[in-house]
A and B are shown apart, each in its own frame.
Chain A
Amino acid sequence: MVDQMKIEGLELYRSKLENASGAWLKTFRQRCFGQWIEAGIPTIKDEEWKYTSLTDGLDRSFQLPSRHQLIEEKQLLDYLDNKDINVVLVNGVLWKEGFSDLKHLPQGLTVSSLHTALDHNNAEIQETVSKLTANDTKAFLWLNQALFLDGAFIQVSPEAVIEPLVHIIHVTSGITDDTVVFPRSFISVGEAAKVNILESHICFEPVRYFSNAVSDMKVASDAEVGYCKVQAEGHQAVHIGTTRIWQEKGSLLDAFSFNYGGQLSRHNFSIFLKGGQARTIMNGLYAIDGSQHVDNHTLLDIQQPDCTCSQLYKGLLNDKSRAVFNGKIYVHPQAQQTNAYQLNKHLLLGIEARVDTKPQLEIFADDVKCTHGATIGQLSPEEIFYLQSRCINQKLAIELLSKGFIDDIINTIKTDAVRVKLSRLLLKKFPEVKL
């Protein structure tokens, strides 16, 4: 018998959802719900959840969102930037009032309801969302598929070059404590198109909730995509997210995962290099404090020859926060001439902070160049002494070095608009690391 999540009013919610769904989506939801019930909430006995216990976070009775109103509009306006294309979803539903005019977007970019797209029998996305891959959160992927209300469907036409940043903002707002929300997005980038996408999960209200998110993206051949996920949930939130990106031949993906908010968060992030000569950067930063727990499970799945991947994940842990990193690079037998690099570095500022890291390489091709490694540590005494010998007191030296540790990874983000937003968030949490 597996543990089930208690959700009030589930039957009514489900029947409403299924009635509003077309034939394909209805069947899909029912199937996923069955799989979710069968799987139940994973426990620490499950190898994939060994270091992340969901007992405290999910052992309560959850509500489903009934309203989709934006309460803290001012704070949202402070967070977003008018120069960007802002696609706002409130509790999983597209917010059509104000913000960017989604009917007058740059040529080659369309934003619409994912629910509608699935109902209109868009075979491409039906097929993609139905996939189950090796690094998915499984139970939570199914839960989202069964119960998501709607999502953002972003399409970039072949050869379109979208200059402004496309910012998908999943806001949780106007809910009572212990609500569960299901953010969802689907991004399709056409051949040789260029676009930068930022996907934020954010909440400005002091509520306790569970955000169960799924994002899928398809990158067609020769496209160039910048993608960043920002997890800036409320400090009492549980966030479990699955992100999956499929890359075709010759495409370039510059991806970043930023974990910042939430009491407990888990991000299963997978990138599939389906075509040869694809290039991927998969970087990430978790900057946490208090008793925050953040768990990253990543997969770089290299299926074809001549691909180049680099992965650098950094963790800054203050107080008694805790991080888990499990990063896998899988090189298929035909993926010869792969060049892959993985590094996971931590800076532990809190004496009680803890890290469990497991970088993994699984290589089935014989002519490849792959390296990996992980470091966990405090600041080096030699570095602190160097700064002190240059007149800088110990406290400031530690702040500067911590900031350097963060900036080193933040500066790998090429899109200024994204980097600025991340720096702003970091400044709020680590005000001592400013200058």
Chain B
Amino acid sequence: MLEIKDLHAGIEGKEILKGINLKVNAGEVHAIMGPNGSGKSTLSKVIAGHPQYTVTSGVIEYEVNFKKLNLVGMEPDLRAREGVFMAFQYPVEIPGIPSSVFLRAAFNAICRHQGAPEMDPIDFDQYLRGKMKLLSMDEKNIDRPVNVDFSGGEKKRNEVLQMAILNPRLAVMDETDSGLDIDSMKIVAEGVNKLRRPDNAVILITHYQRLLNYIQPDFVHILYNGKIVRSEGKELAQEVENRGYDWLIK
């Protein structure tokens, strides 16, 4: 589904990713761990297409519905319509736009892209409320502006809600666990687990191992100084939890 080959990227002339290679197949969950400043968030933003980051070389091959796309150079909204989703570490507040309006605009953009009929506000409202229930979210938030005055936990849950609505093929979750108490983390993890299917894949970017107690990864990668320095099964996460990162990067 996703194959990153020798990816170099950076911001304002400073190279942060220094040759990333990563292969993710449908149905898999990959965890990317690493100390602060190793390039984890940069990787997620580069996959999603954040305009501030420049890819200097390498490709991000993404295969969906039997077509192969190189994500590098594609507009972020086009990547999203092709099924790439990024859950933000710091979800943005959008004053004045109710969640329902925002999510319907997003959902219908996918419908148009796929040549499917758009959903009208009444049907969408039903659909949205159903997904909110699934994530134990307060339905009052449906008419509130996106993320405005939400607590940290509510914002993260809202990211998972958006993921549920948009039904992506590849979800990149950038430190979705950061700033969450244990209850919120359980709800978020449950939400992600419910959305796992044989035909989609998840990349979990995390600093700590604890989220991986709730979402079991198939592979764990350690990112350090812009490179993946080790890739193993889920036991690696526990080892990092016990021993820290130092032994991996010496």
Contact = CB atoms under 8 A, between A and B. Distances in A.
Contact of B166 (A390, A396, A405, A435): A390
A411 B95 CA distance: 11
A383 to B, nearest CB: 5
Contacts of B109: 391-393, 396
Contacts of B81: 391
Nearest to B52: A381
Nearest to B104: A435
B150 interface: no
Interface string B25-48: 000000000000000000000001
Contacts of B162: 390
A407 B145 CA distance: 10
Contacts, number: 83
Interface string B85-127: 1101001101111000111011101100100000000000000
A405 B95 CA distance: 7
A377 B103 CA distance: 26
Nearest to A382: B92
Interface residues of A, number: 27
A375 to B, nearest CB: 12
A381 B77 contact: no
Interface in A197-253: none
B76 interface: yes
Contacts of A387: 77, 94, 102, 106
B96 A389 contact: no
A404 B94 contact: yes
B110 A391 contact: yes
Contacts of B103: 390
Interface string B69-89: 000000111001100011010
B68 interface: no
B105 A383 contact: no
Nearest to B80: A391
Range of interface residues on B (Cβ < 8 Å) = 20 to 34
Given A391-B166, A400-B102, A411 B96 contact: yes
Nearest to B110: A391
A407 B94 CA distance: 11
Contacts of B52: 381
A312 to B, nearest CB: 11
Contact of B77 (A389, A401, A405, A409): A389
B51 interface: yes
Best-surrounded residue of A385, A396, A403, A407 (most CB of chain B within 10 A): A385
A432 interface: no
A381 to B, nearest CB: 7
Contacts of A391: 77, 80-81, 106-107, 109-110, 113, 166
Given A400-B102, A400-B105, A408-B145, A385 B96 contact: no
Interface string B156-168: 0000001000100
B50 interface: yes
Best-surrounded residue of A382, A388, A391, A404 (most CB of chain B within 10 A): A391
Contacts of A403: 96-97
A254 B88 CA distance: 38
Contacts of B91: 386
Contact of A389 (B76, B95, B97, B105): B76
A386 B166 contact: no
Contact of A393 (B75, B101, B102): B75
Contacts of A15: none
Interface in A405-429: 405-409, 411
Interface in A360-396: 380-383, 385-394, 396
B102 A390 contact: yes
B106 A407 contact: no
Contacts of B95: 404-405, 408
A381 B53 CA distance: 12
A404 B77 contact: no
Interface in B132-182: 145, 162, 166
B75 A386 contact: no
A385 B51 contact: yes
Contacts of B166: 390-391
Contacts of A380: 92
A256 to B, nearest CB: 16
B77 A435 contact: no
A409 B109 CA distance: 27
Nearest to B83: A391
Contacts of B145: 404, 408
B161 to A, nearest CB: 11
B86 A396 contact: no
A389 B80 contact: yes
Contacts of A392: 77, 105-106, 109
Contact of B97 (A382, A388, A401): A401
Contacts of A405: 95-96
B94 A435 contact: no
27 contacts: A381-B52, A383-B92, A385-B50, A386-B88, A386-B92, A388-B76, A389-B49, A389-B80, A389-B85, A389-B88, A390-B80, A390-B162, A390-B166, A391-B77, A391-B80, A391-B109, A391-B110, A391-B113, A392-B77, A392-B109, A393-B109, A400-B102, A404-B94, A404-B97, A406-B96, A408-B96, A435-B105
Interface of A: 380-383, 385-394, 396-397, 400-401, 403-409, 411, 435
Given A385-B51, A389-B48, A404-B95, 19 more contacts: A383-B92, A385-B76, A386-B94, A389-B80, A389-B88, A390-B106, A390-B166, A391-B80, A391-B106, A391-B109, A392-B77, A393-B77, A394-B75, A394-B77, A400-B105, A404-B145, A407-B97, A411-B96, A435-B101
Closest 6 CB pairs of A and B: A404-B96, A408-B96, A407-B96, A391-B109, A404-B97, A386-B92
